[in-house]
Amino acid sequence: MIISVKKPDLDKLLIRLYAHNNMPGRLNNKVCLITGGASGIGRAVTIRFLEEGGTVVVVDRNRAAIKETLEIARTVSTKVESIEADVSKLDQVENMIRSTVDKFGHLDVLVNGAGVLVLTQEAEHVEEREWDLIMNTNLKGLFFCCKYALPEMVRSGGGSIVNIASITGIQGYSRSLPYSVSKAGVIHLTFVLANQYTRRGVRVNAVAPGSIDTHQARGSSQSVGALDIVAQNHPMKRIGKASEMAEVILFLASEESSFISGETILADGGSWAGGGHV
Amino acid sequence: MDKLIDIVNRAIEDYGFRQIAQWSPEDVVEMWDLTNEEAGVLTGPIKMALDMLPIPVEPDDYISEKARFRQIIDKALRT
């Protein structure tokens, strides 16, 4: 049967279809906890998730950044709360998950964005405390968050975890061996957790960003002009934006990626493929 | 004194370490084995000064910033 549609009606239909595909709401009724959610990529994720109807709990240890982020976030949605916590502390992570579930009844999405990049010398000069400072947050802390979030997600019927790794976890980064190793660990942890929990309804994925314009990237570049040089050598002649990473993370957090688990998406603008550097 | 100078020198040159000194000082206190007095200086005047640093500190400014922070530490430990 052929349905005849008048031109004005077709226009309306196309507009409705367009609106449907671009309509915010991919995280309606979802409770999303974002560690490191007060700055950089984490802040961009916070804003993007709110735009998509999610209820967002921002977790960060940086009190000033939390305050600033909440002021911005509340112009988008009032469904945002914050918890001041250090993910490297087991008791704080346990409390953060418990208080979120106590308040909202369930936890649907966990974005593990908390991380630190401390620059180090060559391997023989790396101090134990430098190693510990990086690993405690980037790998052990991320594991703590998964450890306490997973049972809650399983209990409420499923969920999605998105870990923020790094291109340095794939190609290495000579200015911080511990950081590279921690991010490689995040990628492997993602794979093993997917192996254990996908069958129980929790998808676990990671994003490995390349060079992204954040305070962290600018701070670690040791010069205002250094990132411009990175951009000049990049295949796209620019570095990435935090908002671009937020789109990838939104995809992995939402049902749009419902058949993806155990994956790490390298979001570097073709840098790795082009043989470029971080 | 020497430990605090080591900490601020790292924080000036490395934004990642600076964030740890600002927002997880208890880790720094433990790992550098600071005294209670030194911990107070870290979480007080040093933290306030770190909050005001640009991101990043340009290498040309390392020497002057390190000297400024040394004065802050000297003054805090004297009082």
CATH code (residue A97): 3.40.50.720
Please provide the average confidence, as pLDDT, over all residues in chain A.
92
- The answer to whether the Cβ–Cβ distance between A220 and B18 falls below 8 Å is no
Q: Is residue A18 situated within a structural domain?
A: no
ipTM over 0.85: yes
Taking Cα atoms as reference points, which of A30, A70, A22, A28 lies closest to residue A161? A30
Output the pLDDT for position A244: 98
Is A90 at the interface with chain B, CB within 8 A? no
User: Tens of pLDDT along A188-240?
Assistant: 999 999 999 999 999 999 999 999 999 999 888 877 788 889 999 999 999 99
| Spatial distance between the Cα atoms of A46 and A40, rounded to a whole number of angstroms | 10
User: Tens of pLDDT along A62-75?
Assistant: 999 999 999 999 99
- The answer to whether the Cβ–Cβ distance between A219 and B56 falls below 8 Å is yes
Domain ranges of chain B: 2-78
Output the pLDDT for position A1: 46
Is B29 at the interface with chain A, CB within 8 A? no
Within 10 Å of residue A74's Cβ, how many Cβ atoms? 12
User: Tens of pLDDT along A96-137?
Assistant: 999 999 999 999 999 999 999 999 999 999 999 999 999 999
Search chain A and give the residue with CA nearest B25: A61
- Number of alpha carbons in the 13 Å side-chain half-sphere of residue A105: 3
- The answer to whether the Cβ–Cβ distance between B56 and A62 falls below 8 Å is no
Q: Which residues of B touch A63 (CB under 8 A)?
A: 23
Q: Which residues of B touch A62 (CB under 8 A)?
A: 19, 22-23
Output the pLDDT for position A276: 61
| Spatial distance between the Cα atoms of A144 and B47, rounded to a whole number of angstroms | 28
Q: Is residue A164 situated within a structural domain?
A: yes
Task: Choose the closest CB to A219 out of B15, B27, B51.
Answer: B15
Q: Is residue A223 situated within a structural domain?
A: no
Q: In what order do the strands lie in the sheet with A264-267?
A: A80-84, A55-60, A31-35, A109-112, A159-164, A202-209, A264-267
- The answer to whether the Cβ–Cβ distance between B58 and A119 falls below 8 Å is no
- Number of alpha carbons in the 13 Å side-chain half-sphere of residue A237: 0
Which strand (E) or helix (H) includes residue A207? strand A202-209
Q: Is the pLDDT at B79 greater than 90, yes or no?
A: no
Catalytic residue ranges of A: 179
Under DSSP, the state recorded for A4 is P
Q: 């966990």: which residue's tokens?
A: A110
Residue A196: give the domain boundaries: 26-211+241-267
Q: How many domains does chain A have?
A: 1
User: Tens of pLDDT along B5-47?
Assistant: 999 999 999 999 999 999 999 999 999 999 999 999 999 999 9
pTM: 0.91
Q: Chain B: nearest CA to A133, how far in angstroms?
A: 8
Q: What are phi and psi of A274, to 5 degrees?
A: -85, 5
Q: Tell me whether residue B28 is exposed, middle or buried, using C-beta atoms within 10 angstroms of its C-beta: 0 to 12, 13 to 18, 19 or more.
A: buried
Q: Tell me whether residue A159 is exposed, middle or buried, using C-beta atoms within 10 angstroms of its C-beta: 0 to 12, 13 to 18, 19 or more.
A: buried
Output the pLDDT for position A221: 82
- The answer to whether the Cβ–Cβ distance between B59 and A119 falls below 8 Å is no
Q: Which residues of A touch B32 (CB under 8 A)?
A: 129
